Chain A
């Protein structure tokens, strides 16, 4: 009985969106991520596809969906660079899975938790990316931890602003 109760509660808390938004919002994130550096130049230290992946994974609370969405967004991000396809894919797959898994257990409405989740998962994404590129594949690849830290902070701030806006798009029954 208690299990049924938990499942019911979880199903009740799962956010649902119009199907078209599952396509449009990630696409908009990819387009903006590619276009904004032209305007902002060297100040483009954020990762909109990652933020969107975390948002949907936290909201949907399905590790499989989080995994698949993270993989798809990561592969698209890789395809826009000259790097090997799969570097961001691996990192964002793990992030999507973890965000969805954690989302089952915590209150995802809380802004402080959202900010913390974005900050930590962004750092984790950078760490996995660098680990795979540098140590698994052995590529000659340098990075700056400060830039990765700033990127994580920026992602957290973007999430603080955009998550409430995206919340308004969900289907309420």
Chain B
């Protein structure tokens, strides 16, 4: 017996190690109600301990490399490569001002939408607080789209918290350690998020595929779905708040497993392959955060100042046009500026001016109707040179059959005005 183990010790060790791992695998997998195998959503304490050891061993040197690389990068871009910074700063300031104005305008719509939602019983969730984190490592496997960030339980992170970037959603926190956390990216095969197409309002489930692409799976074929349409979070998955950008539709492909169903391939809004900094949403609330309220108030104030500036500019322009008009008295009827109604010279002019008068009656503040100078060599296109059949003599009537159609009259009136 002893000789058997000595003789086949290599194979025995191999079988023992393999069996131990296979038993360990079997413990981690469970059957769903649908009869499919899946991994436990939460790791058991033993598995968690192995993961913790691995992260504790690999993370410190990895973070050291990351910090060294960042240090060199910051040294270069923070001190030596400062060209155009002032110009960029001015451009960014202008962008901030513009965005504040746009934000204030959008807030009006949002507040109106919120009031309607309250009427319907919905409740909006604002991103109330976030924690900024640096990405310092990944799983290292092309079959596993997870990465590690340098914030953990010490910073208030918990499992299933959404992770976003300024461009769009990134993933969710899968495992949390004291000073680091593992994030499952949205393009992993095991991820899932509820999404909605922006214009067609079609809802679906977002998943990653083997190629690391984002796809909305199991949609009924719908020809309204076109490339370029934006996709947002739907808010129904209890992870991501509603309305965050996910990506844009890249192409629509038939579902390989089911007829009349399609998969929609997306181009992610966030740069999932080159993430440096991310935000972990640590809490949401039905109230807008204080900082955001302050920003909105600033935007509203700026918007008022902008409106006043636009009004002042318009007034200045009006004055300038009046001064210009005074310096060109022959081009207009002097009586127009005295507040008197214009004096038509003939019947045709009467008819044309009549529209202006009618308009003037409808709107007392309408601009005065100028009197045009007589044309030296009139033709059928000259003002006041057309008339309807039976027009009294004395007018410079257009030839029969070549009169301007009725639709042309407003043009003449517009020109007169």
Contacts and interface: CB of A to CB of B under 8 A. Distances in A.
Contacts of B37: 137-140
Contacts of B26: 137
A81 B251 CA distance: 30
Interface string B23-37: 011101100000011
Interface in B22-72: 22, 24-26, 28-29, 36-39, 47, 50-51, 53-55, 57-58, 61-62, 65-66
B274 A41 contact: yes
Contact of A41 (B58, B62, B273): B273
B280 to A, nearest CB: 17
Interface in A107-151: 129, 132, 136-144, 147, 151
A6 interface: no
Nearest to B275: A38
Interface in A40-55: 41-42, 44-45
B353 to A, nearest CB: 72
B21 interface: yes
Contact of A79 (B39, B54, B212): B54
A-B pairs, 3 with minimum CB distance: A79-B54, A81-B144, A138-B37
A71 B144 CA distance: 19
A86 B43 CA distance: 13
Given A139-B29, A143-B143, A144-B211, A101 B10 contact: yes
A68 interface: yes
A10 to B, nearest CB: 14
B366 interface: no
Contact of B29 (A28, A129, A137): A137
B409 interface: no
Contact of A132 (B17, B25, B54, B174): B25
B402 to A, nearest CB: 71
A47 B98 CA distance: 48
A42 B273 contact: yes
A37 B148 CA distance: 12
B380 interface: no
B210 A144 contact: yes
Given A35-B62, A35-B137, A147-B142, A79 B18 contact: no
Contacts of B21: 71, 75, 86, 89-90, 93
Contact of B146 (A38, A45, A81, A141): A81
B14 A93 contact: yes
B54 A80 contact: yes
- B interface, size bucket: 35 or more
B144 to A, nearest CB: 4
Interface of B: 9-10, 13-14, 17-18, 21-22, 24-26, 28-29, 36-39, 47, 50-51, 53-55, 57-58, 61-62, 65-66, 135-144, 146-148, 174-175, 182, 184, 188-190, 209-212, 273-274
Contacts of A83: 39, 141, 143-144
Contacts of B146: 80-82
Nearest to B210: A142
A17 interface: no
A142 B38 CA distance: 14
Contacts of B25: 84-87, 90, 132, 136-137
A94 B18 contact: yes
Which residue, B17, B26, B140, B143, has most C-beta atoms of chain A within 10 A?
B140
B208 to A, nearest CB: 10
Given A81-B144, A82-B174, A84-B25, A139 B17 contact: no
B61 A31 contact: yes
A27 interface: yes
A44 B50 contact: no
A34 B36 contact: no
Contact of B140 (A37, A82, A129, A144): A37
